């Protein structure tokens, strides 16, 4: 009887561990996702402040191009100047992540939306990898690599730029 209980207990315990939600990942990566949210707030308000969240030797890759942080800031400033009543909305879904003592990473699915009073909604759907390093007690973004994805939420009749947004049709 004792052997039957031991034999049944082990698979039940292993199955419960396999199907239990991994709450430790959420706790570990919260500091990193919070850092990205702080960057998001600065992008549409005061882009120069985003450099506080990046390391000095940051590498940014957008699709197949390396982007210098100072050029990205200039692009954000031009966008703010051109778009009246601009609103930014960022939605991220963490697909994977890990945090060590001095190094962390996130793999995220991002949907960035920028709208203004006189223009249509500009959307960018990407999958991004962020590498973080700890500088003292603060996390900083060391590397950012984003690859654009087609925005399948746009249908041909809704947007004249459908085939631009969806290169695979």
* pLDDT tens track for 129-169: 999 999 888 999 999 999 988 766 655 556 555 555 555 54
The pLDDT, as a whole number, for residue 81 is 77
Say which CATH topology domain 23-149 has.
Nuclear Transport Factor 2; Chain: A, (3.10.450)
The pLDDT, as a whole number, for residue 156 is 57
Q: Which stretches does DSSP call E strand in the chain? A: 54-62, 65-67, 87-99, 103-116, 119-135, 138-149
Look at residue 6 and tell me whether its pLDDT is greater than 80.
Answer: no
Give the C-alpha distances (Å, rounded to integers) separating 159 from 2, 113, 121, 131. Answer: 67, 15, 10, 35
Residue in the block written with tokens 């998001």:
40
Mean pLDDT of the region 67-83:
82
- The pLDDT tens digits for 101-122 are 999 999 999 988 887 777 666 7
Give the C-alpha distances (Å, rounded to integers) separating 2 from 5, 9, 70, 122, 160. Answer: 5, 10, 68, 65, 70
pTM above 0.75, yes or no: no
């Amino acid at each position: 009887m004792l052997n039957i209980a031991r034999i049944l207990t082990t698979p039940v315990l292993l199955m419960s561990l396999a199907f239990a939600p991994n709450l430790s990942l959420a706790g570990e990566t919260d500091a990193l996702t919070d850092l990205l949210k702080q960057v998001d707030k600065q992008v549409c308000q005061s882009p120069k402040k985003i450099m506080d969240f990046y390391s000095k030797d940051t590498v940014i890759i957008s699709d197949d191009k390396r982007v210098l942080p100072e050029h990205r800031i200039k692009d954000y400033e031009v966008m703010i100047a051109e778009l009246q009543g601009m609103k930014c909305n960022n939605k991220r879904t963490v697909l994977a992540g890990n945090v060590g003592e001095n190094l962390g990473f996130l793999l995220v699915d991002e949907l960035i939306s920028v709208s203004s009073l006189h223009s249509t909604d500009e959307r960018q759907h990407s999958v991004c990898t962020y590498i973080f390093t700890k500088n003292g007690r603060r996390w900083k973004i060391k590397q950012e690599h984003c690859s654009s994805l087609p925005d399948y939420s746009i249908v041909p009749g809704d947007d004249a730029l459908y085939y631009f947004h969806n290169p695979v049709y």
